[in-house]
Chains A and B, each alone.
Chain A
Amino acid sequence: MKTKVWRNHLLLSMSMVLAFGAACSNSGPADPAPVPGSTNNEQEVGEGGISYSAPFADGKYDPPIDMTTVAAVSPSMTFKNGETMENNVHTEWALERFGINLNYLWTSTTQNTAFNTRMRLALSANEKMPDVLAIDDVQLANDLIDSGKFMEVGEMWERYASDAYKQAVNEDPTMWYPFMREDGAYGIPIPEYSWNNDTVLFIRQDWLDNLGLEAPETLDELEAVMDAFVTQDPDGNGQADTYGLALGMRDSLKPAQATASWVFGAYGTIPQQWNLAEDGSLAYGSIQPGAKDALQKLNEWVSKGYIHREAGLHDETKAAELFTSGRAGIIAGPYWMDRTPLKDLMVNVEGASFQAYPVPTGPDGQAGRQGTLNFRGAVLINKDAPHPEAFFVYQNYLFDNFATLQEGSEFEYQFAEGYDYVLVDGEASYDTNDIPGGRVIPQKYTITYEGARIPSSAMEALGWLAEGNEPRNNLERYHSRFSDETRLQVANVNLNSREASMPERFTGAPTRTMKSRGEYLNTQELETFIKIIYGELPIDEFDRFVETWKSSAGDTITEEVNEWYNAVKE
């Protein structure tokens, strides 16, 4: 008797488990939203073809409308006053300001790419997609677009985006490329600050001074400096234990930090990415003749002991440690390295100091460094969104007011008083000790990750300040509060070498042949290159590599990449 009951229980619970699983794959509750663009809701058509899908007056929907979205919660996002992603100062603001009720279908942490996984699951389970969706993974964005659930946004962009918004995105029209299809644009790129990961050189200033050396401007001068760093005991400890240059080549020749790509750049190419060739087509950087010269140079440097013998084993962190422990004199990387990790140098080595310098020029006087893309993903709008224009209402306002911390606007100082700033005697304070409950950054709660950013604005503000000028506007005033002398010096160098920047030009999803053969080619390439640098293979092996690369799918990939480029360029 009992046994039977037990078995029934077991069966019951098993079937419940299965039923639960099945329920997960069904879509959420049915959407009661009105039909988009139905005649009832259509308001008068304003200038520029602007119309609203719900009663709209004075920049506000009245009564409030619902807009569904999802959110990626990054570890850097903090909340206070018991607020949550679903209910906080930002959602209140959106409701108050625009009559937009932000409704989060789900939120997920970005750790271990959980958000992307959740998104992919939603896609495969055919879940209801949100009205508005920000996504910062180009491949995933393209998969989402391919699902056919999102609308062409180019037309709406023309009609609804404000001038400030348009200007920000138009600083770099290539931002649109990853999200283009034959019949238009399917994602609105989210502009990011420019030159964020572009390379500058950090050199031990105290070593230069100790040895009475000038900062290098060309590769040859750099070589002389490295030689002195290795042979002339720059740290004065009587031991030959110093290196010229810290490189981390374990995973790539162009990691953000401790990169070697600028050596290639001096010869006119950046490896492991697609560069713009002279004829206007895209060409793979690693197979250009310049790459051979760069490899030869690096090989020379390794054999002369300028570079640590284990640079091929080091990743970014390990390479940076070599610099911060006071053993290497030069490291290349983004401007933000001045704080993390390079601040450690001054802790580890007494009296040490470094300064930023532009990447050196090569034999024909040109310099090149890896660049940064000016966008961070895109916003997709659901085909069935009842109020697709609501996103523009929201985002226009942020670009008009928040991006520049517009004087006289509610964002004069930053997002919200009591959150990221507080007024003390009429002066804004950003000190976490002044703000009751500590400082949190509500701009991170916005749909597009950081509120609104105009690509050139941040570095240009820093550059202006670096030249000793007084801040002209609120954004510059804001940056002047957050930047010490080192930061300004580094930012200025970064800004002044913008001519040298060579960002990745192929920003689409991996092509067919890339998927099937790409990793094989990458492995071959990295292996061959590192072995040449280490002298385990002769330099002529490079020519053989180029041959193999071309014949075993490289040429096909080049064709595919250019096909894509020609299609999106128009």
Chain B
Amino acid sequence: MKKKDPQQPADQLPVRTPVRPAKPKWNLQRNWPLHLLVFPAFVLVLIFQYAPLPGLIMAFQEFKPWLGYFDSPFIGLEQFRKIIEIPQARQVIWNTFLISSFKIVFQLLVPFVFALLLNEVRIMVFKRFVQSFVYLPHFLSWVILGGILIDMLSTDGGLINQVLTSLLPIEPIFFLGDGDWFRFTVIVSDVWKDFGFSTIVFLAALAGIDPSLYEASLIDGANRFKQALYITIPGMIPITIVVGTLSLGNILNAGFDQIFNLYNPLVYQKGDIIDTYVYRIGLLSGDYSFGTAVGMFKSIISFVLIVAAYRMAYKFANYRIF
């Protein structure tokens, strides 16, 4: 055992005081197991997130592998100009933005509502079952799901179209071959795949709401609807803001895996996103500098958006995320 610190009498007090110590101290002595736990992650982040950062210099070079970082010629912002100058760039960026915006909104809305509804379910077994069941698709990869979706959405005997045409007086819908339907399909299938998983976060937030609030409201005569309106929803707002802000960082990631496995030349115009486009370019030419420039371009925009969202959350909701 270590010797007792006279300034830490906490364990001698009979009751826990809600008052925090005035100045939280950097106390490695007491917290070292926690630091030990975080250490591997820290090293990994250092190696895989920070160590490659100097490589960003490639974005400003005409990088040649055999010349390396030091001898490759600098060409300034040429690579970035190339991004903007690609004839399809505007369309591709717009597609990316549109698809991912819808995904972000629905990935917030659907789990939010679903968590609320699930919270009202009384039968525990049913609740648990539904909860596990809806997050299962999250663990399937898009490579597999892509093949399944192509079959399910087929106009020729696909399950979805068979159901639709038998219920409604319509022609089979060409989900993956028509640009607008393609966007719709991508967004819906993405939400379907992942909303169960996001629901877990919201359910955790719900579990964290102080039960005494509900008891108090009961005494005041609030029914379940009023409870949801005045206690549950406000209680979920902070986590919603956190999740929303963090997902803004992905505004230019519209889901490479998914789109790559579902798209085809018929929907290039409305379904091609930055990542798939860069993938095809990269495959053709092995252009490192251009790839780096695109990655940097995306990161900068994401960074600006996250900072903006953080500020706004503080200003309007008076909520600090970090």
**Residues on A close to B: CB < 8 A?**
2-3, 6, 13-14, 17, 21, 120, 123-126, 139-140, 143-144, 146-149, 249-250, 308-310, 312-314, 318, 510, 514-516, 518-520, 522-523, 526-527, 529-531, 534, 536, 552
Contacts and interface: CB of A to CB of B under 8 A. Distances in A.
Interface stretch (B110-118, B261-269, B293-301, B307-315): B261-269
16 contacts: A2-B29, A17-B47, A123-B66, A124-B66, A126-B68, A143-B64, A146-B64, A309-B155, A309-B156, A310-B176, A312-B177, A510-B285, A516-B82, A523-B272, A530-B266, A536-B266
Contacts of A124: 65-66, 68
Contacts of A125: 68
Contacts of B82: 516
A3 B28 CA distance: 6
B135 to A, nearest CB: 28
Contacts of A123: 65-66
> Lowest 5 A-B CB distances belong to which pairs?
A147-B66, A515-B285, A530-B265, A124-B65, A526-B265
Contact of A250 (B46, B265, B281): B265
A2 B177 contact: no
Nearest to A310: B154
Contacts of B156: 308-310
Given A519-B280, A520-B88, A3 B29 contact: yes
Interface string B51-87: 1000000000000111010000000000000100011
Contacts of A531: 265-266
B177 A313 contact: yes
B284 interface: yes
Chain B contact residues (Cβ within 8 angstroms of A): what range? 35 or more
A523 B177 contact: no
Contacts of B234: none
B133 interface: no
Nearest to A4: B28
Contacts of B281: 519
B268 A515 contact: no
A249 B265 contact: yes
A14 B45 CA distance: 12
B32 interface: yes
A318 B150 contact: yes
A123 B176 CA distance: 42
A530 B82 CA distance: 27
Contact of A520 (B46, B86, B177, B287): B86
B43 interface: yes
B147 A522 contact: no
Given A2-B29, A520-B87, 9 more contacts: A17-B43, A126-B68, A144-B66, A310-B150, A310-B154, A510-B285, A519-B277, A522-B284, A523-B88
Nearest to A525: B265
Contacts, number: 103
Nearest to A327: B156
Given A312-B266, A526-B268, A120 B65 contact: yes
A14 B174 CA distance: 55
Give the interface SS of chain A, mostly helix, strand, loop or mixed: helix
A522 B177 contact: no
Given A126-B68, A147-B66, A518-B285, A14 B46 contact: yes
B285 A6 contact: no
Contacts of A149: 66
Contacts of A3: 28-29
B79 to A, nearest CB: 11
Contacts of A518: 284-285
A258 to B, nearest CB: 14
Contacts of A523: 88, 268, 272, 277, 280
Interface in B15-47: 28-29, 32, 43, 46-47
Nearest to B279: A519
Contacts of A519: 277, 280-281, 284-285
A284 to B, nearest CB: 15
Contacts of B88: 520, 523
B1 to A, nearest CB: 14
A13 to B, nearest CB: 7
Given A139-B286, A309-B156, A6 B32 contact: yes
Contacts of B176: 310, 313
Q: Which of B47, B154, B264, B268 has the most CB of A within 10 A?
A: B264
A456 B49 CA distance: 51
Contacts of A520: 86-88
A318 B147 contact: yes
A112 to B, nearest CB: 14
Contacts of B46: 14, 17
Nearest to A5: B28
Contact of A530 (B47, B65, B150, B264): B264
B87 A552 contact: yes
B266 A534 contact: yes
Contact of A2 (B28, B284, B286): B28
B311 to A, nearest CB: 33
A535 B176 CA distance: 16
A242 to B, nearest CB: 11
A21 B88 CA distance: 39
Contacts of B285: 510, 514-515, 518-519
A516 B86 CA distance: 9
A298 B163 CA distance: 31
Contacts of B155: 309-310
A389 to B, nearest CB: 26
A527 B82 CA distance: 22
Given A2-B29, A3-B29, A312 B265 contact: yes
Nearest to A7: B28
Nearest to B151: A318
Interface in B116-167: 147, 150, 154-156
Contacts of A147: 65-66
Interface string B220-246: 000000000000000000000000000
Nearest to A3: B28
Q: Which of B82, B155, B280 has the most CB of A within 10 A?
A: B280
A142 B186 CA distance: 39
A249 B176 CA distance: 14
B32 A13 contact: no
A324 B43 CA distance: 51
A463 to B, nearest CB: 36
Nearest to A523: B268
A314 B176 CA distance: 11
A139 B154 CA distance: 38
A518 B46 CA distance: 37
A518 B283 CA distance: 11
A202 to B, nearest CB: 22
A114 to B, nearest CB: 15
Nearest to B178: A536
B265 A310 contact: no
Contacts of B51: 21
